[in-house]
A and B are shown apart, each in its own frame.
Chain A
Amino acid sequence: MTAPMTPKGVAELLVRYRLPKELLLPLAQVLVTGDREILMEPAAVLCAQNEPADALYLLLEGTLEVRRRDFRNESRVIAEARSPAILGHMALLLSKRRTAALSAGRSGARVLALPADAVHQLNESDTAAGNALRRLILAALLDQHHRAVVDLLHTSGDTDLSLPAGWVQVEG
């Protein structure tokens, strides 16, 4: 099922990743060119584990469950992504197969899928649109990176390896 995209979701993505509103216009232009908006019913599958990465996903509404098969080949939920968020960028940038499956959560989801070809083309272009998309993806990657570091320092169980004094929780 497809529907026209609303700019609202894009604006919320910018807020989520602490990006300036000046990126709204170039980003909206990128996302309405060759994009696909997908309205997902609860539990509907967006992509499967091990399939080739053919799109970047922008979660505009709802939630997506991130599932991975364990060594008994049982599918397990390893995370839940809440809107607004970017997903699927790792496999796309590494040109690898999906390491996890994505399916809509209990309330369903609204997702914008930006085709891999368009992502790669924009990533290589030195234009305002390319800059806007790179900044969005980079913000998502570095947010993941920072949270992983904080999580490791917070949960290491090693008193010598803990968060520094004066550390402040990141919003969002």
Chain B
Amino acid sequence: MSELIPLIPELLKLRPFAGVPGPALHNLLEATTSRTLTRGEVLAEAGTKADHAWLVVRGRLGLEAGSSAHSIGEVWPGEMVGEESVWGTATTRVSTIRATQDTLVLQIDRGTVGDASLAANPAMGALQRHMMRISTRRLHALDNARHRALVASHTFTEPPPDLDEASEPSTPLTWLRALFGGDR
């Protein structure tokens, strides 16, 4: 049984579980585990097998990519990382995940996601809807960034009307940052 069950009142205050009945969250937590990390501890390394997702309950995680470990995002309480490996098709991690504070996470694997007894569970449904919202907004942000870069790469006598002149220049790093972190 998950060590997080005593924390149900705290978990219900996190955005993914807002409005979820306590017993439904209890049933979901029974199918999960938790992990405690100290500041600086690595949760997962880029290039390794991806088979878990983590929801931050307390603390903060940092995401790094590339040989110079560029920071590409932060994961705050109520936000998730690694979801592409349990709900998506990814098999290998592309970023390193490190605790930037002492952190408590809820750990989810493909078994939890595919658990038939949770198919109609409102807490699982709420988590899925939350991930759909976040993923859609991230992809939309990337699409907008690419659009701006496309505009910037062309010379026109008149700028197109939807060019946002105040936006920061698009680079692969800024595009990557649009794809990670929470919905803040």
Q: Do A and B come from one complex?
A: yes
Residues of A within 8 A of B (CB): 17-18, 20, 22, 26, 71, 89-90, 93-94, 99, 123-128, 130-132, 134-135, 137-139, 141-146, 148-150, 152-153, 155-168, 170-172
| Contact A126/B125 with A159-B67, A170-B91 known, Cβ cut-off 8 Å | yes
Assembled-state Cα–Cα distance A137/B139 (Å): 13
A90 to chain B: which residues have CB within 8 Å?
Answer: 136, 139-140, 143
B122 / chain A contacts, CB cutoff of 8 Å: 126
Report the contact-size class of chain B (Cβ under 8 Å from the partner): 35 or more
Interface residues of B (CB under 8 A from A): 45-48, 65-68, 70, 83-84, 87-96, 113-114, 116, 119-122, 124-125, 128-129, 131-133, 135-140, 142-143, 151, 154, 156, 160, 172-173, 175-176, 179
Considering the chains assembled together, what is the distance between the CA atoms of A149 and B89 in angstroms? 13
Query: In the complex the two chains form, is A142's CB within 8 Å of B66's CB?
Result: no
In the bound complex, CA of A141 to CA of B88 (Å) = 8
B47/A152 in contact, CB under 8 A? no
Task: Tell me whether chain A's interface is mostly helix, strand or loop, or mixed.
Answer: helix
Complex Cα distance, B48 from A166, in Å, reads 7
Residue of B nearest to A132 (CB): B119
Bound state CA distance, A32 and B116, in angstroms? 22
A141 near B136 (CB under 8 angstroms)? yes
On whether the beta carbons of A149 and B94 are closer than 8 Å, the reply is yes
With A142-B83, A153-B66, A158-B66 known to touch, is A131 a contact of B124 (CB < 8 Å)?
Answer: yes
Q: Shortest beta-carbon distance, A56 to chain B, in Å?
A: 12
